[in-house]
Structure 1
Amino acid sequence: MNEILQDYQSELTYTAIALAVFIIVRFVAVQTIRKVGRRSDINQVRTVLVGRYITFGLFFILIISFIFIWGVDFKELGLIVSSIFAVIGVALFATWSILSNITSGIILFFYFPFKIGDRIRILDKDFPEEAIIIDIQTFTINLKKDNGEFLTYPNNLLLQKGVVLIQKQVATEEDLESHF
């Protein structure tokens, strides 16, 4: 056992350092996301989802760092990476819309100036919409029009269109909960 520890001492040390850095960066990132969520009065469910996305990205970086720490042969790594990218490329092409909406959801979390309960107008020349924001989810934003119709609008389209704030906090918590 001592021979194994001595033979792989530097790899074990770097692995421990990488794990410590991962834990610290993840903790700081999640705390920052929670602080932004509280300060911006963002729904806690959205805050948790964004934290999970960031944790997944950091975990992916951790796995890559382990590959380099433990000295995977670069010729084999090139074959593995090219195969993975080929599969991911096909998968991303097939699901680009979903990934676009997830990315837009993260952007909306940090930048979107409107909150649940606000009345907005989406400036779309073909389908202009005016409604109250009922919920902002990972893929979509849920809206309620004055005539009672519910709209589900994709997050990526919301970033592409102009959005005008008509009135802040039109709906109360009770009003929003009664619509579901």
Structure 2
Amino acid sequence: MTKTSLIAIIWVWHCVAYGQLPVHSPYHIPYISTYVTQPHNHQNYEKTILGRDAGELLERISPFQGAIFVKMKKLEAITANLAKQLKDITGKLEKNVLDVKDELNTKATKDDLAKKADQSELIETNTELLTSKDDLAKKANQSELIKTNTELQTTSNNLATTRTELNDTKSDVEDLTFKLNGIN
């Protein structure tokens, strides 16, 4: 093998490896500017193209794909599988969270009903206590009213006595006034 052919093989391999010479396109006509101006990015080797004759889909695989490319494809498949599993697990977790929230809401509702039942019992007991308190207050007020009534009657009797005395005094004053007027 001569140096020129070796350099040509290495140059072609370099162009294919870095995507400057697309081996997947059967209609590619290389120009000199192709090798100089194309960016250095790799080809998608999993691309399927339309075959020349029968119209069936053919998959062309580059002879330069090595163990690294195979491992990359396996890692991509594993990553896609893990992403799918993660999405499934996330959906299940969200469903479980919603179920737990529903259970907590149901439990909270039951607790609220129990509290309301306890509150209604407390309200009934409070009403009974207030009724008893009112009855006791009425009895205490009745004894105070009886005492006040007795005091009022005593005061009334005293006023009647004082009135009688005032009437007597008034009649005495009138008599004296009459006597004084008669003397004059």
Scaled to the shorter chain, the TM-score interval is under 0.3
> Which structure has more helix as a fraction of its residues?
2
Point out which structure has higher relative CO (alpha carbons under 8 A, 6+ apart): 1
> Which structure has more strand as a fraction of its residues?
1
TM-score normalised by the chain length of structure 1: 0.23
TM-score normalised by the chain length of structure 2: 0.22
Structure with max Cα Rg: 2
